[in-house]
Amino acid sequence: MATCEHAAAAGGQTAPMRFEENSLSEVKRVIAVLSGKGGVGKSLVTGSLAVELARGGAKVGILDADITGPSIPRMFGMGGRHAHGLGNLLLPEISASGIKVMSSNLLLQNETDPVLWRGPVIAGAIKQFWSDTSWGPLDYLLVDMPPGTGDVALTVFQSLPVDGIVVVTSPQDLVSMIVAKAVNMADKMSVPVLGVVENMSYVQCPDCGRAIEIFGESKLDEVAAGYGLKVLDRLPIDPALAAACDAGTLETELASGTLPLALAACRAVEAHEVEAPGEAPAADAE
């Protein structure tokens, strides 16, 4: 039986069950955006990469795996919208520029309802967002991960055919620890880390344009080099960007070329082979 590189992730021990893709979805690349902790800008990076990929003509979806803290729909002006069904499948909502989004936020009665679901239900939601969602043909499905490297992240990596990971850090982070955690998780799952984006890296002086590193000199280069990782991009603190996310206008407001290296890294990911239905990763990869 043919095995893909994901099969190797099973590592010969208990093979995790891969969630099945449905017949209406044809997702070529799955890229997860991960960070060691919350609030560093994963969702912003996920949304921005989606916008840039879509602007380049790619078919793009975002699976909002942050089930208890979903923030993608709002960023795309979908606050208050509800996902519809088609037979047994859910249909993602589609943004103005054609980006497909599935999020727990689109399944709640009221946008402000707290999501109090527990672990198994959360894993079930991730499964729904993959197996029971009609994504159609997609060049890229970006997965906005919940904060940290805990159970939900593990579920995503074990259950979806993730092709690459973009790690997001901020200068206030204990960068080395966070990069280590992300790298360990990626290693265990045999998923390549495409590189690291440092968000809120500096502030640009409005007068002279000079970059002011308000959190001190970044240690990211050193740390990344220690793990053989690429530093992709550094994003400044930009109040206009935060305002656009809040107002749901990221698609129109995002400046082109905001994350050039991360974008290139996503584009360099090769399409994975579609797994035949029921073809879970083999326990003993050859």
Closest distance to ligand ATP from the beta carbon of 267 (Å): 22
Question: How far apart, in Å, are the Cα atoms of 42 and each of 57, 58, 88, 184, 192?
Answer: 23, 21, 31, 19, 18
The position carrying tokens 């990221």 is: 250
As a whole number of angstroms, the distance between CA 140 and CA 27 comes to 7
> Among residue numbers 171 through 190, which ones bind ligand ATP (CB under 6 A)?
none
**Cβ atoms of 77 and 96 closer than 8 Å:** yes
Is 170 one of the binding residues for Mg ion (CB under 5 A)? no
Closest distance to ligand ATP from the beta carbon of 125 (Å): 15
As a whole number of angstroms, the distance between CA 233 and CA 238 comes to 15
Query: Angle 251-43-256 (CA atoms, 0-180°, nearest 5)?
Result: 35
Closest distance to ligand ATP from the beta carbon of 17 (Å): 26
CB of 155 or CB of 199, closer to ligand ATP: 199
Is 40 one of the binding residues for ligand ATP (CB under 6 A)? yes
Q: Which stretch binds ligand ATP (CB under 6 A): 63-71, 130-138, 190-198, 250-258?
A: 63-71
Closest distance to ligand ATP from the beta carbon of 136 (Å): 26
Residue 237 contact among ligand ATP, Zn ion, Mg ion, none, beta carbon within 5 to 8 Å by kind: ligand ATP
Phi-psi category of residue 39: left, alpha or beta, with phi > 0 → left and psi -120 to 50 → alpha = left
Q: Which stretch binds Mg ion (CB under 5 A): 67-75, 103-111, 159-167, 184-192?
A: 67-75
Is 111 one of the binding residues for ligand ATP (CB under 6 A)? no
* Beta strand residue intervals within the chain, DSSP E: 25-27, 30-34, 60-64, 84-86, 89-91, 93-94, 100-102, 136-138, 140-144, 164-169, 193-198, 203-204, 211-212, 231-234
**Cβ atoms of 95 and 60 closer than 8 Å:** no
- Tokens at residue 258, please? 């905001």
Is 235 one of the binding residues for ligand ATP (CB under 6 A)? yes
Among 241, 250, 259, 263, binds ligand ATP (CB under 6 A): 241
> Among residue numbers 30 through 59, which ones bind Mg ion (CB under 5 A)?
42-43
As a whole number of angstroms, the distance between CA 190 and CA 13 comes to 14
As a whole number of angstroms, the distance between CA 138 and CA 253 comes to 24
Among 43, 48, 155, 158, binds ligand ATP (CB under 6 A): 43
Closest distance to Zn ion from the beta carbon of 21 (Å): 51
**Cβ atoms of 102 and 27 closer than 8 Å:** no
Could you tell me how far CA 2 lies from the centroid of its own chain? 28
Q: Which residue is nearest to ligand ATP (CB)?
A: 38
Is 149 one of the binding residues for Mg ion (CB under 5 A)? no
As a whole number of angstroms, the distance between CA 271 and CA 203 comes to 36
CB of 90 or CB of 197, closer to ligand ATP: 197
CB of 91 or CB of 203, closer to Zn ion: 203
Residues making contact with Zn ion (CB under 5 A): 205, 207-208, 210
Which spans of this chain sit near ligand ATP (rule: CB under 6 A)?
35, 38-44, 66, 69, 71, 147, 199-200, 235, 237-239, 241-242, 245
Which spans of this chain sit near Mg ion (rule: CB under 5 A)?
42-43, 66, 71
